[in-house]
């Protein structure tokens, strides 16, 4: 035997049992506590059991540092050199005849790819299996597949703490041998952090460590102290505080992955002083620190957990499992009794899980899946892992590989995937390396990718005293380029030579770098370079150096999950949420729109590590097939003749492009085709330069005119036209395509629409029912039609100028358009259809009867219609009731424009009135001169025309309803002539005024003689002194005198004979006129005094100032009327009666106010209207006479209303007459 055992180790006591198990079992599980000697003695036990003859004994380690140190130590136990070797990534020291080979578990996995049955080995020892790393679980799964096919292959699973049942069942109830690791007992002390501070609130484990160390030092007990902390920063902070406490009496050392080799050696070297070592969980299993008596366990560790749903890794500080806690406690008690101080309670310890969650269930599985697929192991979900990974993680792994292009939709390796599997790096890095060839950045990416595949080479050593730091190599816009700067500096120092220890030490010393990390980087680069040289054209480039764009595009291809855009200062939004730039990055506290992170990790916050500035267009260029393209708000661009749209481009939810204008036909031909048809052709945005579009527009305009006239949609939408064009032009997406289609057909006739193409059989001729113009006395007035109930111009609209407006009576516009008249009659009769049925008439029959009678415009349409209904069918219906039955569109809308086209007013009689002055129906306008020429003439003083005051129908044009014109004498500027009027009422007023003037001319001399001797008696003058002067009274008396003589009876003379009779009667009234005048004046003053006395009496009692002012105003109006010059005799004669009625109104106003208000309501409206008309300027004599006649009619209505025995129908008839006559005036007046 040419090797030595370590007989003092606990495992040596189990030597015989283990050797026998190896000889008799294919699988042996050795569960030994930390420090039992499993790692160093098991390979020797295998040799003793006869293994190592049919192949090497392979021993895997989870970490390279362990493989190196173990190979060195175990090799020193052999008397013959070269029996033990090692192979780790980038480094190998293995003699051809070596029996034992230490290696990382990753190396063994890589060898399975070329040696699926591991024929080079006859024994495999998987050490530290309790760590349950991905590689360990993968190896165990591989061994479960290999062992049945290699019965001669022996497997030994070694672990400090292990779920023995799980491992044993996985290998057919394999034998389990437990080995104690302690030589001395270990006391467990539970000192929760809060208890160390005597109940005060304190949750800092660092404070707990410092307090515990102080207590150990104060106790005077010897022994080194090993402290377990969760993070490297924690170890640094703790050591800084402990140095102040321990002073020169203790050696304070860190233990973690970033310490320099010098510090590593100090940890394993004996020391005369107490050592205090602050370590991460690296000291839990991988490295055994000698001489430890005290362990202070924070109970915490930072574990990497990949979150498939979030898409990034989390590195939370978590409570360790019971197994890990026991491992830490086992680090003491090796040389003497040990003490483990746990900074948490025993209850907390008991509540923790038994074992740490396997890495396979908390890591990114894309690399494992790629490796499995390349080895032909099939679906990861069916692989014989000890514990199956989380399904979501498996699915996410496949998703990542698919996005990287490594697998297809059926989860089969692609050509690219096979190449990626050959590279011993993470799939993302392998994708980056292969993309570098495409972008001509192979050399640069090789340096960057190799840096990303190892521990951060930019990391500075803690014990560095260098003048410079890695910051000297920083690129301010890319951490990736910082690696490249560092690499180029290293290569410059090498000057084309290999990396020697002296050069490495000098270079790292100068910049404060860790030699181990730089060596790993260098070795990784060499390994990847050898592999990449087999890729044809990998190092080919057109330029000496790759640009930043080429480099970062290569990086983008594999780091897509690290893309993010800025949303706030220092805050970015990535594919899976918010990300902050890691403080160590050169981009920290800088704000760039878009960045790329090599890794996204959650610690206290979600951080992106190793960042670079990128441009969104690079993302689109690289991931074009994975980008989401959405087009919105398309439009037809007449200038280019194509359909354009705004395009949004996003990648995994990140908006890359906003509102980019694109040709829609490139992205979506179907949508572009439909939109071109709708916009360019149906909506005619292509312009009317095309003959077929002009022809089609003419047809559509004709149809639209018909629709507006008949108020019915013939074309309900554009679908018929769209279908027509789509059928004729199936592949046309632009104007260019349209021109080609027309050229191919020879003309555009095939694109011309016919009514049948629009689902219309024939187009009706409506010119008779719905004329496009009206002609009134040679004035052609355009008429338009609109079918839109929401539009103020719904229905028919005629446009007229100011002269036509002033010349045509407002009521005549109600009679135009016969088709409207028919509809109105039917709707009004429908409201009384029940009453018509009682008379044996249908609505249609009754409408026919009325339409035969509605042949001449006699006045307001509804007044005439209601009168005919009353006369024809003996049915009562008021104009207001009839108006409510007729929709607004059945009344002609009139627009009045001035000579410059400005709209002066718009009205729709009888629904609305114009806003500018109109002469009403008083006299015909100038434009009617032609049709009235036979009726109008100068008056020669002889009434020999039998047509006076007889309505005469006049047609303003051949197609319009005739309107009645009434000839009568008219006095204008003291000249009398024959004129025509639209209203019989105005004609009578004018005729009466002219006759009165003629009588006055004939009797002027006799009247003057008689009035010369007429005087008002003084007593009567005295009674009037309170309201007028004596002269005013004389003037009023003279008017009354003349009025008594010239009074004309209701039947006006219309020929010379009747006029002579009238003249004779007037002459006979001259002698009695004086007495009659005095009598009227006496009656007036008497009634006036009564009214004033009664008003004062009631006002004094009831104290109603408003009512007093109201009645006083009425009294004053009557007084004013008495002294008005043109007051007719008929009003003066009835004035006493009006005053008598006023007295009764005063009484009722005070004694029965409610009844008074009810009776006065309508009267006030009429009174206000007449009062308003009297204020008009430029009223001619016959117009004032007409107003006085209306005033008399109103006063008679008032007497009837306030009389107790008046018939209601009589009141209603008079009010209707008054309303009709008022309507013949300008509505504004």
Task: Please write the tens of the pLDDT for every residue from 981-1002.
Answer: 887 888 888 888 888 888 888 8
How far is the CA of 55 from the CAs of 156, 171, 447, in angstroms? 15, 22, 37
Percent of the chain with pLDDT over 70: 94
User: Listing from the earlier edge strand, what are the strands of the sheet with 773-776?
Assistant: 773-776, 779-786, 795-801, 893-897, 903-907
Task: Tell me which residue has tokens 């029965």.
Answer: 1152
Express each pLDDT in 477-504 by its tens digit.
999 999 999 999 999 888 888 888 888 8
Q: What is the pLDDT of residue 156?
A: 95
Determine the average pLDDT of the residues in 782-811: 89
Range with lowest mean pLDDT among 592-606, 951-965, 1097-1111: 951-965
- What does the alpha-carbon distance between residue 811 and residue 1027 come to, in Å, rounded to a whole number? 44
d(CA 293, CA 273): 14
Burial class (CB in 10 A: 0-12, 13-18, 19+), 1191: buried
Rounded CA-CA distance 571/192 in Å is: 37
pLDDT at 307 over 80: no
User: What would the two tokens of residue 1166 be?
Assistant: 């009429």
Give the DSSP H/E element, type plus range, for residue 210.
helix 205-219
CA 257 to chain centroid: 52
Q: Once rounded to an integer, what is the mean pLDDT over residues 1056-1071?
A: 84
DSSP 153-187: -EEEEEESS--HHHHHHHTTS-EEEEE---SS-EE
DSSP 1062: H
Closest by alpha carbon to 1169, among 1131, 1197, 1136, 1129?
A: 1197
Phi, psi of 558, deg, nearest 5: -110, -15
Q: What residues contact residue 87 under an 8 Å CB cut-off, 6+ apart?
A: 93, 94, 101, 102, 103, 107
User: Considering just the CA atoms, what is the radius of gyration of the chain in Å?
Assistant: 58
Q: How far apart are CA 62 and CA 158, in angstroms?
A: 12
Confidence of residue 1226 (pLDDT cuts 50, 70, 90): low
Question: Among 468, 449, 463, which Cα is nearest to 521's?
Answer: 449
Residue 602 pLDDT:
84
Mean pLDDT along residues 1127-1134 = 85
Q: Residue 91, SS3?
A: strand
The whole-number pLDDT of residue 925 equals: 64
pLDDT of 471 reads 82
Q: What pLDDT shows up at residue 482?
A: 94
> Which 3 state secondary structure label does DSSP give 474?
coil
Supply 586's token pair: 């050169």
pLDDT score of 713: 87
Beta strands 903-907 and 893-897 are antiparallel
What does the alpha-carbon distance between residue 69 and residue 575 come to, in Å, rounded to a whole number?
A: 43
HSE-CB for 238 with a 13 A CA cutoff: 33
> pLDDT tens across 891-917, in order?
999 999 988 889 999 999 888 888 887
pLDDT, residue 201, reads 37
CA angle (757, 759, 762) in 5-degree steps: 90
Residue 287 has pLDDT above 80, yes or no: no
Would the pLDDT of 1229 be above 50?
Answer: no
CA 69 to chain centre: 64
Residue 461 DSSP label: P
Q: Report the pLDDT value the prediction gives residue 372, as an integer from 0 to 100.
A: 85
Residue 995's contacts (CB-CB under 8 Å, 6 or more residues apart) are 969, 1048, 1052, 1053, 1059, 1062
Q: What is the mean predicted confidence (pLDDT) over 94-104?
A: 93
Length of the chain: 1229
Higher pLDDT, 536 or 242: 242
Which residue did the predictor score with more confidence, 929 or 354?
Answer: 354
Cα–Cα distance for residue pair 299/353, rounded to 1 Å: 13
Measured CA to CA in angstroms, residue 696 lies from 188, 511, 525, 687 at distances of: 98, 82, 74, 12
How far apart are alpha carbons 97 and 87 in whole angstroms? 14
> Each residue of 160-217: pLDDT tens digit?
766 778 888 889 899 999 887 656 788 999 988 855 444 443 347 888 899 899 888 8
Q: How would you write 494-552 as a 3-class SS string?
A: HCCCCCCHHHHHHHHHHHCECHHHHHHHHHHHHHHHHHHCCCCCCCCCCCCCCCHHHHH
pLDDT interval class at 1060 (50, 70, 90): confident
Query: Could you write out the DSSP letters of every residue in 794-828?
Result: -EEEEEEEHHHHHHS-GGGGGT--HHHHHHHHHHH
Q: What is the DSSP letter of 1159?
A: H
The span from the CA of 476 to the CA of 613, in Å, is 9
**Lowest-confidence pick of 723-727, 771-775, 791-795:** 771-775
Query: Residue 1034: is its pLDDT beyond 60?
Result: yes
Residue range 515-554, pLDDT digits in tens: 878 888 888 888 888 888 877 777 777 667 889 999 999 9
> Rounded to 5 degrees, what are φ and ψ at 650?
-135, 155
- Compute the mean pLDDT over every residue in the chain, rounded to the nearest whole number: 86
pLDDT at 199: 41
Which SS3 state, helix, strand or coil, does residue 767 take? coil
Taking a C-beta distance cutoff of 8 angstroms, is the pair 183, 36 a contact? no
Beta bridge pairs of residue 976: 971
| Pairing mode, strands 975-981 and 312-314 | unpaired
Q: How far apart are CA 1182 and CA 1177, in angstroms?
A: 14
Query: What pLDDT digit, counting tens, does each position of 110-154 carry?
Result: 888 888 999 999 999 999 888 888 888 889 999 999 999 999 999
Q: What is the pLDDT of residue 622?
A: 92
Q: How far is CA 697 from the centre of its chain?
A: 37
The pLDDT, as a whole number, for residue 357 is: 81
d(C-alpha 574, C-alpha 561), whole Å: 8
pLDDT of residue 260: 67
Three-state SS sequence of 298-359: CCEEECCEEECCCCEEECCEEECCHHHHHHHHCCCCCCCCEEEEECCCHHHHHHCCCCCCCH
Structure tokens at 1176: 């008009």
User: pLDDT digits over 835-889, tens only?
Assistant: 999 988 999 999 999 999 988 888 889 988 998 999 999 998 988 899 999 999 9
Q: Is 20 helix (H, G, I), strand (E, B) or coil?
A: helix
pTM of the full structure: 0.61
Q: What is the pLDDT of residues 260-282, one digit of tens each?
A: 667 777 777 777 788 899 988 77
Question: Of the segments 56-65, 248-257, 358-367, which one has the largest average pLDDT value?
Answer: 56-65
The candidate with the shortest Cα–Cα distance to 27, out of 126, 134, 117, 133, is 126
Burial grade of 200 (CB within 10 A; 0-12, 13-18, 19 or more):
exposed
CB of 211 closer than 8 Å to CB of 363: no
For residue 1207, CA distances in Å to 880, 1191, 1213 come to 22, 21, 10
Residue 941: pLDDT band (50, 70, 90) is: confident
């Amino acid at each position: 035997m040419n090797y030595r055992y370590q007989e003092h180790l606990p495992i040596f006591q189990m030597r015989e049992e283990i050797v026998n198990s190896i000889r008799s079992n294919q699988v042996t599980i050795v569960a030994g506590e930390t420090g039992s000697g499993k790692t160093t003695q098991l390979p020797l036990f295998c040799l003793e059991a006869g293994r190592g003859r049919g192949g090497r004994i392979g021993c895997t380690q989870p970490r390279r540092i362990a493989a190196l140190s173990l190979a060195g130590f175990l090799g020193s136990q052999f008397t013959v050199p070269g029996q033990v070797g090692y192979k780790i990534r980038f480094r190998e020291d293995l003699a051809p005849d070596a029996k034992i080979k230490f290696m990382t578990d990753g190396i063994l996995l890589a060898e399975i790819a070329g040696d699926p049955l591991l024929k080079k080995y006859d024994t495999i020892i998987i050490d530290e299996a309790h760590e349950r790393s991905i590689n360990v679980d993968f190896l165990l799964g591989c061994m479960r597949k290999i062992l049945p096919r290699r019965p001669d292959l022996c497997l030994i699973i070694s672990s400090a703490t292990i779920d023995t049942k799980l491992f044993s069942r996985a290998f057919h109830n394999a034998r389990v041998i437990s080995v104690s690791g302690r030589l001395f007992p270990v006391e467990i002390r539970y000192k929760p952090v809060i208890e160390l501070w005597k109940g005060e609130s304190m949750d800092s484990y660092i404070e707990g460590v410092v307090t515990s160390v102080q207590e150990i030092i104060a106790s005077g007990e010897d022994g080194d102290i090993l402290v377990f902390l969760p993070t490297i920063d924690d170890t640094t902070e703790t050591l800084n505080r402990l140095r102040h406490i321990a002073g020169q009496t203790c050696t304070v050392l860190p233990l973690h992955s970033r310490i320099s080799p010098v510090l590593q050696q100090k940890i394993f070297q004996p020391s005369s002083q107490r050592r205090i070592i602050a370590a991460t969980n690296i000291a839990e299993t991988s490295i055994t620190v000698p001489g430890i008596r005290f362990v202070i366990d924070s109970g915490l560790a930072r574990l990497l957990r990949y979150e498939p749903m979030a898409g990034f890794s989390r590195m939370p500080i978590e409570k360790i499992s019971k197994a890990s806690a026991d491992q830490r406690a086992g680090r003491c008690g090796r040389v003497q009794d040990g003490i483990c101080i746990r900074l948490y309670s025993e209850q907390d310890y008991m509540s923790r899980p038994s074992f740490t969650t396997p890495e396979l269930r908390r890591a990114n599985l894309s690399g494992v899946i790629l490796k499995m697929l390349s080895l032909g192991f099939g679906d990861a979900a069916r692989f014989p892992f000890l514990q199956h990974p989380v399904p979501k993680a498996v699915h996410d792994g496949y998703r990542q590989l698919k996005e990287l292009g490594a697998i297809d939709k059926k989860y089969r390796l692609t050509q690219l995937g096979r190449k990626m599997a050959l590279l011993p790096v993470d799939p993302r890095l392998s994708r980056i390396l292969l993309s570098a060839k495409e972008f001509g950045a192979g050399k640069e990416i090789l340096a960057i990718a190799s840096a990303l595949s190892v521990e951060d080479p930019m990391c500075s050593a803690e014990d560095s005293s260098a003048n410079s730091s890695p910051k000297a190599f920083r690129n301010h816009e890319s951490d990736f380029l910082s690696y490249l700067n560092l690499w180029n500096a290293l290569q410059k120092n090498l000057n084309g030579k290999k990396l020697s220890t002296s050069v490495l030490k000098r270079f790292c010393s100068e910049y404060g770098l860790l030699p181990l990390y730089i060596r790993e980087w260098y070795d990784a680069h060499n390994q990847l370079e050898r592999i990449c040289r087999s890729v044809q054209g990998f190092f080919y480039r057109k330029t000496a150096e790759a640009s930043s764009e080429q480099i970062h595009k290569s990086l983008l291809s594999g780091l897509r999950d690290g893309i993010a855009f800025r949303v706030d200062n220092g805050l970015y939004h990535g594919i899976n949420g918010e990300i902050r730039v890691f403080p160590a990055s050169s981009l920290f506290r800088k704000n760039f729109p878009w960045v790329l992170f090599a890794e996204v990790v959650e610690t206290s916050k979600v951080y992106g590590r190793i960042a670079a500035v990128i441009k969104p267009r690079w993302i689109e260029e690289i991931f074009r097939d994975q980008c989401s393209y959405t087009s919105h708000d398309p439009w037809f661009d007449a200038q280019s003749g194509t359909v354009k749209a705004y395009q949004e481009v996003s990648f995994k939810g990140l908006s890359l492009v906003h509102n980019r204008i694109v040709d829609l036909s490139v992205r979506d031909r179907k949508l572009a085709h439909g939109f071109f048809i709708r916009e360019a052709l149906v909506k005619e945005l292509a312009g009317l330069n095309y003959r077929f579009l002009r022809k089609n527009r003419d047809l559509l305009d004709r149809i639209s005119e018909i629709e507006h006239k008949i108020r019915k949609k013939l074309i309900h939408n554009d679908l018929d036209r769209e279908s027509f064009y789509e059928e004729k032009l199936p592949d046309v997406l632009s104007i260019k395509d349209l021109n080609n289609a027309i050229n191919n057909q020879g003309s555009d006739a095939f694109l011309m629409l016919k009514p049948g193409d629009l689902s219309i059989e024939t187009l009706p001729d409506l010119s008779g029912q719905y004329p496009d113009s009206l002609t009134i006395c040679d004035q052609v007035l355009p008429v338009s039609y609109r079918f839109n109930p929401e539009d103020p111009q719904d229905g028919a609209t005629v446009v007229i100028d100011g002269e036509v407006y002033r010349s045509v009576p407002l009521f005549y516009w109600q009679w135009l358009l016969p088709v409207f008249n028919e509809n109105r009659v039917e709707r009004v009769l429908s409201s009384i259809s029940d009453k018509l049925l009682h008379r044996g008439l249908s609505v249609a029959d009754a409408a026919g009867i009325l339409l035969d009678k509605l042949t001449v415009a006699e006045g307001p349409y509804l007044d005439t219609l209601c009168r005919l209904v009353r006369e024809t069918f003996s049915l009562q219906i008021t104009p207001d009731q009839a108006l409510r039955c007729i929709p607004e569109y059945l009344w002609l809308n009139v627009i009045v424009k001035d000579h410059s086209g400005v709209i002066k007013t718009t009205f729709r009689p009888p629904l609305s009135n114009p806003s500018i002055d109109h002469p009403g129906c008083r006299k015909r306008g100038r434009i009617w001169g032609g049709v009235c020429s036979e009726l109008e003439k100068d008056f020669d003083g002889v009434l020999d025309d039998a047509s006076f005051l007889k309505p005469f129908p006049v047609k303003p044009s051949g197609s319009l309803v005739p309107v009645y014109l009434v000839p009568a004498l008219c006095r204008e500027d003291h000249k009398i002539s024959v004129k025509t009027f639209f209203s019989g009422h105005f004609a009578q007023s004018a005729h009466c005024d002219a006759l009165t003037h003629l009588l006055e001319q004939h009797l002027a001399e006799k009247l003057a003689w008689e009035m010369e001797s007429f005087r008002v008696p003084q007593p009567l003058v005295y009674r009037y002194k309170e309201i007028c002067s004596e002269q005013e009274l004389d003037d009023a008396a003279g008017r009354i005198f003349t009025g008594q003589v010239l009074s004309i009876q209701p039947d006006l003379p219309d020929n010379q004979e009747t006029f002579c009779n009238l003249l004779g009667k007037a002459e006979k009234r001259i002698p009695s006129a004086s007495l009659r005048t005095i009598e009227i004046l006496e009656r007036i003053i008497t009634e006036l005094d009564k009214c004033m006395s009664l008003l004062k009496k009631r006002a004094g009692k009831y104290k109603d100032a408003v009512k007093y002012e109201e009645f006083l105003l009425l009294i004053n109006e009557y007084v004013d009327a008495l002294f008005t010059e043109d007051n007719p005799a008929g009003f003066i004669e009835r004035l006493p009666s009006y005053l008598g009625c006023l007295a009764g109104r005063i009484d009722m106003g005070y004694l029965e106010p409610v009844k008074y208000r009810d009776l006065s309501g309508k009267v006030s409206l009429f009174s206000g209207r007449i009062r308003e008309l009297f204020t008009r300027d430029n009223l001619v004599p016959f117009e004032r006479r007409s107003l006085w006649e209306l005033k008399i009619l109103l006063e008679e209505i008032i007497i009837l209303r306030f009389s107790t025995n008046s018939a209601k129908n009589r009141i209603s008839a008079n009010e209707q007459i008054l309303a009709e006559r008022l309507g013949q005036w300008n509505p504004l007046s």
